[in-house]
Structure 1
Amino acid sequence: MKIGLFGYGKMGKMIEQIAQNRGHEIVARIDENSTEIPYGDMDVAIDFSVPESAVSNIKGCLSGGVPVVSGTTGWLEKFGEVRDHCLKVQGAFLYASNFSLGVNIFFELNRMLAGMIQNSGEYKVRIDETHHIHKLDAPSGTAITLAEGIISQTDYKQWELNKGNVDTVPIHSHREGEVPGTHVITYSGSVDEISIRHEAFSREGFALGAVVAAEWILGKQGVFNMKDVLNLGGK
């Protein structure tokens, strides 16, 4: 499989290493200094760039007939635009806020717990996410996905950063050292507290998941997520 990498920072380099270890070839490494993009050389593109470049990267790949997997966060207000473009050109696009197998299982556990607690009326929820100081966006895309999972199962209407009220899920973002990513969901009541936690030990799990997703999307058409890749059911 011939892969074009969009974004060649720490994640891009780790994806490169894992992809090559799995027998794939990196045919392009695209960063902010790139002037020409060889779409014709790529079987698939993996985008871990920056929010300002993600939309143009993804749409360019799709227009060039290249299926694209993206893990860039911070641009999702334009997700509908990208989805519509993918469908228009009959391309293949997969977005995930987090490609880790463990995190995607955590997403499903989070939804299940929210649904169980919904009818109790005794608990208030909060999300805490901690990442390295180099992370550009807050809250993390993973935290937003977790909040959306809670909202889908409860009476909460939306999420808010670093605050919340009776109708909103508060997300508290912390930036510390070189932390790969830790997410904690806490339900606090008057007599007890329930929490679930996912802690990544390195970025390797994210990179491996992105390569697996790129392998999976070849030959497909449509808009997908990691539930499709991992056959977890639903959208």
Structure 2
Amino acid sequence: MKGKNILIVEDEVLIAAQIKLYITRKGYHCVGMATNYKKSMEILERQAVDLVLLDINILGDKSGIDIARQLNENYQIPFIYLTSYTDDETIKELVETSPMAYLNKPVSEVGLNTTLDIAFKQIKQQNGQPHRIMIGKTQHQLVPDEIDYILADHVYVELHMGGNKKTLRSSLTKFLEKFPANKFIRINRSTAINPMKIKELNGRKVKIGDQVFAISSSYMEQLVDVLNISEQKDGDS
């Protein structure tokens, strides 16, 4: 479970630093600390994040609940609320955003890391489960970890899974938006890959199974960032 990437959203810098110390001592990796909505979105756009520790009352006009809604709608990244709010109205609003857990502040080191361990165990169990997506008016069930790569052809995407393939009517951009950030990485205009399926990376070419794909320069930086994070995870495990 260790080596997972965690974003801390907390407007009290000393508390954020304490939380970072707690999780890094356990072996988790803090990819950033944000005090407001804008900074949180910037980190989410450039980093692979496995889970967010999310305070409700943050700097600026938008709250942690606004971030939670973005995590659900656009990133599909799980989160845990850290807050001192206990009134019924706030709790009801929190529950509606479907957090992995809720921890009262001040947070203890044992309580936080135990909750993280449980959350990541649940996430691991869910990863092998079908992921339901809507394309048009049709619901499809897919297991993301089984997909090796995705090829785009005009308004269709072709999913390659071992020796099998499945064609869906969708643009590549729209299809990728239905999955957690960095689950699939776009490497050129018409190809996205599952980074966990890479066998070889040689210059601007990547090999998955028996297939070799060219990597466009505009997508190389994102791929390298994801692979570096993956290497960190392997080293920390």
**Larger % of strand: which?**
2
Q: Give the number of the structure with larger relative contact order, counting CA–CA contacts within 8 Å between residues 6 or more apart.
A: 1
TM-score interval (norm. to shorter): 0.3 to 0.5
Structure 2 length-normalised TM: 0.40
Question: When the two structures are superposed, what TM-score results if normalisation uses the length of structure 1?
Answer: 0.40
